[in-house]
Structure 1
Amino acid sequence: MADPMSVPTYQATCVSGEEAECGEQSEAAFSVAEREQWIEDHFLRTRHARYLHTVSDYRVVLPGEWP
């Protein structure tokens, strides 16, 4: 189950590029809107249009509750 004491974070990595991926990454954001703003800003600067979205959170496993 999700750890109720944690907050998920959202990140984007630019994977656009002809010969190699750009690789620039956003900071870990606490909302999808912050991540999307970074993507928009990066796109406007670079015209790169392909991104990997990552969501990170913490999980808690309690004895007897793992499938």
Structure 2
Amino acid sequence: MGKTTRYRFRSYHVTTATDPLALPTFEALCVTGEEQDCAAASGELHTPEELTRWIAGHCAQTGHQSYEQTTRTIVRAEPGAWQ
């Protein structure tokens, strides 16, 4: 008979909290296009309202309606214990 090997995995518990000193960033990329995406980018903005204004302006100029939105925040890890 063959030998059975068992593995026990532990998990490391970490909680994260948004860093209150870091501003979030918002960015949009126009992905409208059939053969190729437009690829116009808003650059990093600091409020959702700024991002909405950029999208509205680009849409008004081009008629493009599809965008990829990215939101970035800085978080701090607070390590817990192995379990």
TM-score, shorter chain, exceeding 0.5: yes
Q: Deviations over 1:15-61 (max 9, x none)?
A: 00010111111021111110000001101111110001110111111
Higher strand content, 1 or 2:
2
Structure 1 position 54 matched with structure 2 position 70: yes
RMSD: 1.2
Aligned length: 65
Aligned residues: percent identity? Answer: 34
Matches for 1:1-67 after TM superposition, within 5 Å: 1-64=17-80
Q: Which runs of 5+ in 2 are unaligned?
A: 1-16
Which of these two proteins has the greater Rg computed from alpha carbons? Answer: 2
Question: Structure 1 length as normaliser, TM-score?
Answer: 0.89
Q: Which runs of 5+ in 1 are unaligned?
A: none
Shift >3 Å, 4+ stretches:
none
Higher helix content, 1 or 2:
1
1:62, CA displacement in angstroms? 2.0
CA–CA separation in structure 1 for the residues paired with 2:45 and 2:64:
20
